[in-house]
Amino acid sequence: MLKKDELEYLEFSNALSTIKLTLQGAHIFDFKIKGKPPLLFLSESAHFKKGKAIRGGVPICWPWFGAHPHDSSLPNHGFVRTALWKHLETRHLNEACTQIILGLESSEESLKLWPYDFELKLEITISDTLELSLITTNKSNKPFTLTQALHTYLQITDIHAVQVEGLQNKPFYNKLDDTYGNVEKETLHFNSEVDRVYQGLDKPLILVDKQKKIEVKTVGSQSVVVWNPGENFADSFSDLSDYKSMLCLESANALDDAITLKPNETHTLTSILSPF
């Protein structure tokens, strides 16, 4: 077991790629395809502290995305991103493909925050792509409804020089002015803060950077969150070193795309990141 400041982490590699993740939050903070730059953004001032979320990589937002809908005293984006997960299994599928499985179950502490029994698994598959599947099983004797996101920070050259394809004609909620029913009319560019939930997505998104492209494919949802704090808002984050080098494209179940599970039902949210 390796350690970075206060947090223990695991490292795995194969013929094509290397990944690092903390057991706290099942948080992937580094993924590299050999011979290529990092796929994920990690802030130089990110905190690796017990009970604190890491700024960068892939935080897991669950069982609610954003603020709790009824109780503002509960943690933003849920409680699993600072919970201690277990490493369940590593499968070497071949020399160039490895699968890592992490797990988390309800506990006395979680039941104080959310009154349901559950089982979570994160299946991570690394090769020349990064595939993440967050699997929720309702172990309670009553239904529950959740929102969630794989809060993916992508490493980019410059936020002002990238664009996102695949959002045209899609409706979105704009958190900045709390408006619904907006529609994206063209390829998305960035010149200020953006915080939106796009809905009704039915095909992968393409992030176009100066010298690379990244395909973001989502399975198990029709929502993607797009976030960059912009110059004016970036200063409010003490652990964000450079807003220009990051863009969050988050596979999510949010707003009308919330998931309701009956007892013993399972739902899988998958995000597949493919640089090319």
- The residues that are catalytic are 151, 250
Residue 144 DSSP label = E
Return the amino acid letter for 51.
G
Output the CA–CA distances (angstroms, integers) from residue 15 to 35, 96, 126, 249, in the order listed.
Answer: 11, 5, 10, 27
The C-alpha atoms of residue 211 and residue 217 are separated, in whole angstroms, by 20
Cβ-based neighbours of 50, under 8 Å, separated by 6 or more: 6, 7, 24
Tokens of 173: 């909620």
Tokens of 4: 């970075």
Other Cβ atoms within 10 Å of 212 Cβ, number: 16
